[in-house]
Amino acid sequence: MAQTEYPLKDGRTLVISRPQKGDAAEMIEYLKRVGGETDYLLMDENGIPGLTVEAEARFLEQNLTLTAGGVFCVHIGGELAATFSIEPHPRERMKHIARLGITVLKKYWHIGAGSAIMQFILDFSRETNTLKSLWLEVRADNVRAIALYERFGFRTLGSYTNAVCVNGAYFDQLAMERLL
């Protein structure tokens, strides 16, 4: 996959590409950084506990072989600014469905990064000729993320009560879907 570029509101360019195995350490540090910036994610400042550079490098190398999905990185001004994943269901009867996961560093909120990522996801997913439905979960109180998803045609299917616990407080999680 070649790089894909999108202009941002502030005049900079967002660049989407596939991370290489040599990006493993940077990806792990990014997960720690983004996890420490907001409680809306399922990770904290520890990122993914137990994830080693070697394991991440193997994962990223395998990721390069995927055609209907995978993990993507987003750079703005040379900095890793966001990551996202499109994960098709592994079972044959559900391979037309993919689950999404998106993270964006806080300093890149409000400049159109989320919209560019969503547009890329929809375009990429349609081009697979396999995916027919995109699913995601979002904390019910993350109103800005929900507004973004709704703007791109996602609809709420339901909710999971008290699905996420952060510092002893419980939060509902919404299940959302976008048909392609």
2 — pLDDT class (breaks 50, 70, 90): confident
Please state the rounded mean pLDDT for residues 95-120. Answer: 97
What the block records as the tokens of 62 is 């395998």
Mean pLDDT of the chain: 96
Write down the pLDDT at residue 117. 98
Q: Does domain 4-179 have CATH number 3.90.470.20?
A: no
Contact 96, 142 (CB under 8 A): no
Closest among 19, 2, 25 to 71, alpha carbons compared: 19
Instruction: Indicate the domain borders of the chain.
Output: 4-179
Write down the pLDDT at residue 15. 98
93 — pLDDT class (breaks 50, 70, 90): very high
CA 113 to each of CA 25, 81, 92, 107, 146: distance values in angstroms, whole numbers, following the listed order: 23, 9, 33, 10, 15
* Encoded amino acid at 22, one letter: G
Kindly tell me if the per-residue pLDDT of 91 is higher than 90: yes
Please state the rounded mean pLDDT for residues 115-128. Answer: 97
CA dist., res. 138 & res. 159, Å (int): 9
DSSP letter at 128? Answer: T
Rounded to two decimals, what is the model's pTM? 0.94
Write down the pLDDT at residue 1. 66
**141 phi/psi in degrees, rounded to 5:** -95, 5
